[in-house]
Amino acid sequence: MNSGINRQILLVDKPAGKLGPEHFDMRNGTIPQPRDGEALLKVRYISLDAANRAWMHGATYRAAVEANTVMAGGGIAEVISSKSPGLAEGDIVFGDTGWQEYAAVPAKHLSKMPKIEPMTYLLSVYGIAGLTAYFGLLDVGKPKVGETVVVSAAAGSVGSIVGQIARIKGCKVVGIAGGKDKCHWLTSELGFDAAVDYKDGAVFKALKAAAPNGIDVYFDNVGGDIFEACLAQMNNNGRIACCGAISQYDGAPSATGPRGVPGLIVVKRLTVQGFIVMDYMERRNEALRDLQSWVASGALKVQEDIISGLENTPQALIGLLAGENRGKRMVKV
Amino acid sequence: MNSGINRQILLVDKPAGKLGPEHFDMRNGTIPQPRDGEALLKVRYISLDAANRAWMHGATYRAAVEANTVMAGGGIAEVISSKSPGLAEGDIVFGDTGWQEYAAVPAKHLSKMPKIEPMTYLLSVYGIAGLTAYFGLLDVGKPKVGETVVVSAAAGSVGSIVGQIARIKGCKVVGIAGGKDKCHWLTSELGFDAAVDYKDGAVFKALKAAAPNGIDVYFDNVGGDIFEACLAQMNNNGRIACCGAISQYDGAPSATGPRGVPGLIVVKRLTVQGFIVMDYMERRNEALRDLQSWVASGALKVQEDIISGLENTPQALIGLLAGENRGKRMVKV
């Protein structure tokens, strides 16, 4: 057991502006003893998510991460020992393990996962990313055959799956991503009909060219200016699925919101709906059946971005917020 | 037939900023001859609506009103002669008559109305205002017994009915209106549980006191700062019914939108939905049955604000945009 040492990454300071390495510190903690109802976990993969940054602000769907505690984060872990009847040594679980090598977590906060290969799929296509894409697009966005679906952060963990599901469902798919390489990857590898590079000038105009018939479903991962540009190009009775607002997380709160709210929402009869994937967990198997069959047939490609070493977790998150990942980013502990 | 003269009010100039009397002019036109399929109408009551102002901008659910044409507007009129088999002399109709004494309108653009007393109810509780309140609150807002419903422009034509329907449906109702008198009227006469005077300092704080358990349904007539204040106080899974944005109509387009979009929509899993009452016209009778029974039982009070004389129509709209009306404002021609 690594001679009893539990390497941990602490959030030592809550960022007021941009997140940097100075907000984290590493320490050698001890391996905890599980109490009744808990399992002792060895963390295998830590999930990096834009939401990690939002948790530092507070005002999200979970309690804020406090300074000088182990940084919170979802992970895939193996049960080392258990004081809960529901879990046994060798089980694979998903839960908020935090950024550390070992964690003792109440079994009721853990989800037992099937043993699949590669295990990383439990964080990507069959994990939060895949389920978020599935329910957000199909349940909130409600795309119909032939409609135009636009997704932002399209090369990211959720966006890359959203666009592929939309394509499978017979929609015209436009991705918004940063950089020529990502955009080329979306159209050449993932089957998007078009891609807009938000780093290459005005999104509004490029989007107009890529989606000349307007937007029926916009899957929003970013908020801000891109939300505004899409809102202005929505068709009547369109749907905006609000999944996240990564453009707003890493810095001070924005002093303004997107223009056109609520005026355009009225005249275009739009439905703008936020969702949190946790609310869909009862319907998880429904999603997994579809996702597994699409992966098996090759219709859905899985892209992962795996970084090795717990010590690289802060930089992995900082880079994710800057948009450097392609597909689901995680750290192999 | 008034010696063949048809008094008309023209929009002579499209306002860039605030609407004023200088944007209108009156002229003596001629009474038109109805063509095949048209009816000649004598206009009885002209409806004043915040939307009239929005139509001057364009970018609404109808074509923009052009300068140097008769100002557009809904009205209740009597058929004088008809060249359409569906309409006969003496019929009462609703349609876009424009601001004038006589109009020849294609019958397919007119709705034949029942002959009820007072006729003005066809513009207020049984007209666009009542139907907008009914479908917007019940179909879009979906209030449940015991929930808190907040409505802005609460003393207006739509808001005053929204609040009363919410009360009838067993909700706690908070109205936002301008001025002590209106607020007192909402609570003492219409049965609102509380009222917030937006002219009396910070809406956010007063709303917090009036709706201490947060907001489940916000019926938005105004947009802008009040939208922002309500958004910030929505409960999880709340609904915002976007009916209009009167704060945004009378002036240059706003350079910013409300803060918290889309961030709060995500974390609170809100549904923000725009609607146009015209989309509900097939279900009109369903609404009328309920509205009539509530009016008959005294549960729903009808408030009208009737101004006499076609020549006063411009000032009636200017005053409505400044919030001077209580209940449904119309002009008796």
pLDDT by residue for chain A (333 residues), tens digit each? 446 899 999 999 999 899 999 999 999 999 999 999 999 999 999 999 999 999 998 777 888 898 899 999 999 999 999 999 999 999 999 999 999 999 999 999 999 999 999 999 999 999 999 999 999 999 999 999 999 999 999 999 999 999 999 999 999 999 999 999 999 999 999 999 999 999 998 899 999 999 999 999 999 999 999 999 999 999 999 999 999 999 888 887 788 899 999 999 999 999 999 999 999 999 999 999 999 999 999 999 999 999 999 999 999 999 999 999 999 999 999
Q: What is the mean pLDDT of residues B67-73?
A: 95
Closest Cβ–Cβ partner in B253, B260, B274 for A266: B274
Q: Complex ipTM above 0.90?
A: yes
B interface residues, A as partner, C-beta within 8 Å: 59-61, 220, 223, 227-228, 240, 242-245, 248, 253-276, 279
Residues of chain A with CATH 3.90.180.10: 2-121+303-332
Tokens at residue B290, please? 């309920």
Give the distance from residue B39's alpha carbon to the nearest chain A alpha carbon, in angstroms.
Answer: 29
Q: What is the mean pLDDT of residues B209-214?
A: 98
Burial class (CB in 10 A: 0-12, 13-18, 19+), A106: middle
Chain B nearest-CA residue for A265: B274
Q: For residues B166 and A76, what is the distance between their CA atoms, to the nearest angstrom?
A: 47
**φ, ψ of residue A35 in degrees (nearest 5):** -95, 175
Q: What is the mean pLDDT of residues B99-117?
A: 96
Q: In this predicted structure, what is the pLDDT of residue A193?
A: 98
CA dihedral B65, B69, B71, B75 (to 10 degrees): -110
* Residues in CB range of A117: below 8 A, 6 or more apart: none
| Chain B interface, best mutation among A221, A227, A242, by max B CB count within 10 A | A242
Q: In this predicted structure, what is the pLDDT of residue A37?
A: 97
Domain A2-121+303-332 classification at class level = alpha beta
- Whether A29 and A100 have beta carbons less than 8 Å apart is answered as yes
Q: For chain B, what percent of residues have pLDDT higher than 90?
A: 91
Residue A38: helix, strand or coil by DSSP?
strand
Closest Cβ–Cβ partner in B223, B259, B266 for A242: B266
Q: In this predicted structure, what is the pLDDT of residue A1?
A: 46
Model confidence pLDDT, tens digit, residues B117-173 = 999 999 999 999 999 999 999 999 999 999 999 999 999 999 999 999 999 999 999
Which one of 3.40.50.10140, 1.10.3430.10, 1.25.10.10, 3.90.180.10 gives the CATH number of domain B2-122+303-332?
Answer: 3.90.180.10
Give the distance from residue B207's alpha carbon to the nearest chain A alpha carbon, in angstroms.
Answer: 19
Count of CB pairs separated by less than 8 Å, A with B: 116
- H helices within B112-261, ranges in order? 128-135, 157-168, 180-188, 203-210, 224-231, 246-249
- Residue B192 gets the label, from left (phi > 0), alpha (psi -120 to 50) or beta, of beta
pLDDT at residue B1 tops 60: no
- Judged by CB atoms closer than 8 Å, whether chains meet at A261 and B60 is answered as no
Chain B residues within 8 A of A271 when measuring between CB atoms: 271-274
Q: For residues B105 and B23, what is the distance between their CA atoms, to the nearest angstrom?
A: 25
Give the distance from residue A322's alpha carbon to the nearest chain B alpha carbon, in angstroms.
Answer: 18
Chain B residues within 8 A of A261 when measuring between CB atoms: 223, 227, 257-258, 261
- Judged by CB atoms closer than 8 Å, whether chains meet at A262 and B269 is answered as no
Tell which CATH architecture fits domain B128-278.
Answer: 3-Layer(aba) Sandwich (3.40)
Chain B nearest-CA residue for A254: B259
Q: For residues B185 and B175, what is the distance between their CA atoms, to the nearest angstrom?
A: 11
Q: In this predicted structure, what is the pLDDT of residue B3?
A: 61
Residues of chain B with CATH 3.90.180.10: 2-122+303-332
Task: Answer with the residue of higher pLDDT: A200 or B58.
Answer: A200
Residue A99: helix, strand or coil by DSSP?
coil
Chain A residues within 8 A of B276 when measuring between CB atoms: 266-267, 269
Other Cβ atoms within 10 Å of B108 Cβ, number: 10
| Chain A interface, best mutation among B55, B225, B235, B261, by max A CB count within 10 A | B261
- Judged by CB atoms closer than 8 Å, whether chains meet at B271 and A271 is answered as yes
Closest Cβ–Cβ partner in A240, A262, A269 for B279: A269
- Judged by CB atoms closer than 8 Å, whether chains meet at B276 and A265 is answered as no
Residues of chain B with CATH 3.40.50.720: 128-278
Chain B nearest-CA residue for A62: B267
A interface residues, B as partner, C-beta within 8 Å: 59-61, 220, 223, 227-228, 240, 242-245, 248, 253-276, 279
- Judged by CB atoms closer than 8 Å, whether chains meet at B259 and A260 is answered as no
- Judged by CB atoms closer than 8 Å, whether chains meet at A240 and B262 is answered as yes
